[in-house]
Amino acid sequence: MRLILLGPPGAGKGTQAKVLSQEYKIRHISTGDMLREAVAEGTQLGLKAKPYMTKGALVPDDIIIDITLERLKKDNLANGFILDGFPRTIEQAKRLSAAFKKTNLLIDAVLYFKTSEQISLKRLTGRRVCEACGANFHIKNIPPKKEGVCDKCGNRLVQRDDDKVDTILKRLKVYEAETALLIDYYKKEGLLEEVSGDLDVYELFENLKVLFAAKKL
Ligand code: AP5
Give the integer Cα–Cα distance in Å for 85 and 68: 11
Give the integer Cα–Cα distance in Å for 215 and 185: 20
Is 88 one of the annotated active-site residues of the chain? Answer: yes
Q: Calculate mean pLDDT across residues 50-76.
A: 94
Q: Which of 100, 46, 41, 104 is nearest to 69 (CA)?
A: 100
Mean pLDDT, the chain, integer: 96
Question: CA–CA distance from 193 to each of 113, 124, 214 (Å)?
Answer: 9, 24, 12
φ, ψ for residue 74, nearest 5 deg: -75, -30
**With a 6 A CB cut-off, is 123 part of the ligand 1 pocket?**
yes
Mutate to test the pocket of ligand 1, among 28, 119, 141, 159 (most ligand atoms within 8 A of CB): 141
Q: Which of 25, 29, 33 is nearest to 5 (CA)?
A: 29
- Whether 40 and 49 have beta carbons less than 8 Å apart is answered as no
Give the integer Cα–Cα distance in Å for 170 and 56: 6
Percent helix, strand and coil across the chain, each rounded to 5? 50, 15, 35
Least confident among 9-13, 47-51, 63-67, 70-74: 70-74
188 C-alpha vs ligand 1 centroid, how far in Å?
25
The string of pLDDT tens digits covering residues 122-162 is: 999 999 999 999 999 999 999 999 999 999 999 999 999 99
